């Protein structure tokens, strides 16, 4: 982690690069260092991995924004940086598929080496939590389906007691060379589908795929202050790797249900609070709801509609930090309706007693209005 290169540097683009620029840069560089063009070249492999990791982050607007803000020390990832090491492994990343179909005329599978370790697929789980759970943090258990190695055949797909055989067509390489025109094209072996192995007797349990879907339960600690759309990564909880490759990761994408009263923007909470016309005019104590019960607040005399009060530290905590945002209360002065005759009479008396100086804004308006026609 210490000598990780900046993602923009890896892709050779500047910080303001558009999504299109990033895509172009990635494709160009991926062609240069794809491991299939440099067999057994550890350095090319490392460069390719680094490139995929950079692309993974910079091609996703959310991840890019977080990277721009936090660099490799994103608090969402426990400060450990984006853990996308080996992301995509050798194959399985959609974006490169069409580059290689252009180059070899056969899609990604054509260039994948048989028996090469591959990282398992990443999984995504959408977790809905309440507004309060997001603010205060919570621990959630949930069930999800994961494709796992079949224990009857240990993932080989062959009937227990038998073994997959080396493919007779490609002799186990997973690829065949086709001579055509000016060049030799390498294609995926049709017999084995690129795996280099053929199964005579299929395992009954998994139907020869070597995988079975299994229901799993996971428990995730949701940090206080998490926001809608943010992701928690559970490393290694995705699908198992192939040929000894690492497991994929489980991405938990958080959806926060809205609150009846509060709106949230980052660490600040917003509340529209109706108060009566007499309270606004005379001032007085009101009960303001917060996420931890009500607090008393004294509204000053002559409070106008849309006035905002800021209650410090009554907002949302920042993830993995001691900072807590504010609660911003916007006062809505409500004009009373359905008044009784007696109440109307009182208001009339109030109005008749007015000298005009009670209404500063109105007076100024009337003065300007007079000027219009003179």
Which residues of this protein are in contact with Zn ion, per CB under 5 A?
150, 152-153, 167, 169-170, 189, 191-192, 203, 205-206
Q: Which is nearer to Zn ion, 52 or 110 (CB)?
A: 110
Token representation of residue 1: 């982690």
In whole angstroms, the minimum distance from the beta carbon of 108 to Zn ion comes to: 16
Q: Which is nearer to Zn ion, 92 or 194 (CB)?
A: 194
CA 239, 245, 246, 249 dihedral sign is negative
Q: Is the distance from CB of 172 to CB of 108 less than 8 angstroms? A: no
Helix orientation angle between 94-104 and 19-33, rounded to the nearest 10 degrees: 50
E strands of 210-304, at which residues? 211-222, 231-234, 250-256, 263-265, 268-276, 284-290, 293-299
Q: Which is nearer to Zn ion, 191 or 290 (CB)?
A: 191
In whole angstroms, the minimum distance from the beta carbon of 259 to Zn ion comes to: 48
Q: Which is nearer to Zn ion, 117 or 160 (CB)?
A: 160
d(Cα 31, Cα 35) in Å, to the nearest integer?
Answer: 9
- Residues linked to residue 126 through DSSP beta bridges, in sequence order: 253
In whole angstroms, the minimum distance from the beta carbon of 24 to Zn ion comes to: 35
In whole angstroms, the minimum distance from the beta carbon of 196 to Zn ion comes to: 6
Q: Is the distance from CB of 201 to CB of 153 less than 8 angstroms? A: no
Q: Which is nearer to Zn ion, 137 or 172 (CB)?
A: 172
In whole angstroms, the minimum distance from the beta carbon of 158 to Zn ion comes to: 8
In whole angstroms, the minimum distance from the beta carbon of 200 to Zn ion comes to: 14
Q: Is 214 left (phi over 0), alpha (psi -120 to 50) or beta?
A: beta
Q: Which is nearer to Zn ion, 153 or 316 (CB)?
A: 153
Q: What are phi and psi of 229, to 5 degrees?
A: 85, -10
In whole angstroms, the minimum distance from the beta carbon of 96 to Zn ion comes to: 22
Other Cβ atoms less than 10 A from the Cβ of 153: the count is 26
Q: Is 115 left (phi over 0), alpha (psi -120 to 50) or beta?
A: left
Exposure of 108 in the CB half-sphere (CA atoms within 13 A)? 14
CA 291, 294, 296, 299 dihedral sign is positive
Q: Which is nearer to Zn ion, 35 or 157 (CB)?
A: 157
CA 142, 143, 149, 153 dihedral sign is positive
In whole angstroms, the minimum distance from the beta carbon of 178 to Zn ion comes to: 13
Q: Which is nearer to Zn ion, 101 or 191 (CB)?
A: 191
Q: Which is nearer to Zn ion, 157 or 238 (CB)?
A: 157
In whole angstroms, the minimum distance from the beta carbon of 109 to Zn ion comes to: 12
Q: Which is nearer to Zn ion, 189 or 280 (CB)?
A: 189
Tokens 């028996």, residue? 115
Burial of 166 (0-12, 13-18, 19+ CB in 10 A): middle
In whole angstroms, the minimum distance from the beta carbon of 162 to Zn ion comes to: 11
d(Cα 164, Cα 10) in Å, to the nearest integer?
Answer: 41
H-run or E-run covering 330? strand 327-334
């Amino acid at each position: 982690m210490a000598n990780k290169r900046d993602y923009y540097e890896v892709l050779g683009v500047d910080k303001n690069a558009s999504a299109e620029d990033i895509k172009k840069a990635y494709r160009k560089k991926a062609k240069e260092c794809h491991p299939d063009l440099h067999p057994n070249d550890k350095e090319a492999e490392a460069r390719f991995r680094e490139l995929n990791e950079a692309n993974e982050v910079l091609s996703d607007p959310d991840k890019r924004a977080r990277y721009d803000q936090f660099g490799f020390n994103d608090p969402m990832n426990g400060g450990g940086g984006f853990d996308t090491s080996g992301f995509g492994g050798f194959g399985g990343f959609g974006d490169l598929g069409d580059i290689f179909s252009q180059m070899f005329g056969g899609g990604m599978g054509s260039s994948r080496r048989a028996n090469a370790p591959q990282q398992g697929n990443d999984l995504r789980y959408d977790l809905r939590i309440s507004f309060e759970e997001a603010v205060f943090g919570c621990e959630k258990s949930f069930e999800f389906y994961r494709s796992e190695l079949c224990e009857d055949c240990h993932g080989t797909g062959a009937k227990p007691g038998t073994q997959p055989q080396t493919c007779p067509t490609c002799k186990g390489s997973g690829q065949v060379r086709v001579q055509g025109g000016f060049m030799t094209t390498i294609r995926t072996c049709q017999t084995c589908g690129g795996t280099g192995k053929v199964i005579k007797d299929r395992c009954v349990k998994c139907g020869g795929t070597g995988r079975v879907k299994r229901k799993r339960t996971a428990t995730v600690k949701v940090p206080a202050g998490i926001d809608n759309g943010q992701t928690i990564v559970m490393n290694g909880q995705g699908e198992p790797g192939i040929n000894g490759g690492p497991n994929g990761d489980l991405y938990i994408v958080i959806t926060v249900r809205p609150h009846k009263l509060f709106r949230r923007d980052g660490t600040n909470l917003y509340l529209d609070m109706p108060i009566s016309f007499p309270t606004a005019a005379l001032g007085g104590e009101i009960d303001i709801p917060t996420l931890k019960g009500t607090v008393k607040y004294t509204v000053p005399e002559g409070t106008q509609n849309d006035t905002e009060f800021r209650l410090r530290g009554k907002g949302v905590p920042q993830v993995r930090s001691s900072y807590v945002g504010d609660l911003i209360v916007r006062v809505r002065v409500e004009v009373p309706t359905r008044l009784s005759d007696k109440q109307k009479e009182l208001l009339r008396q109030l109005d008749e007693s007015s000298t005009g100086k009670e209404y500063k804004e109105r007076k100024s308006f009337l003065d300007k209005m007079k000027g219009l026609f003179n």
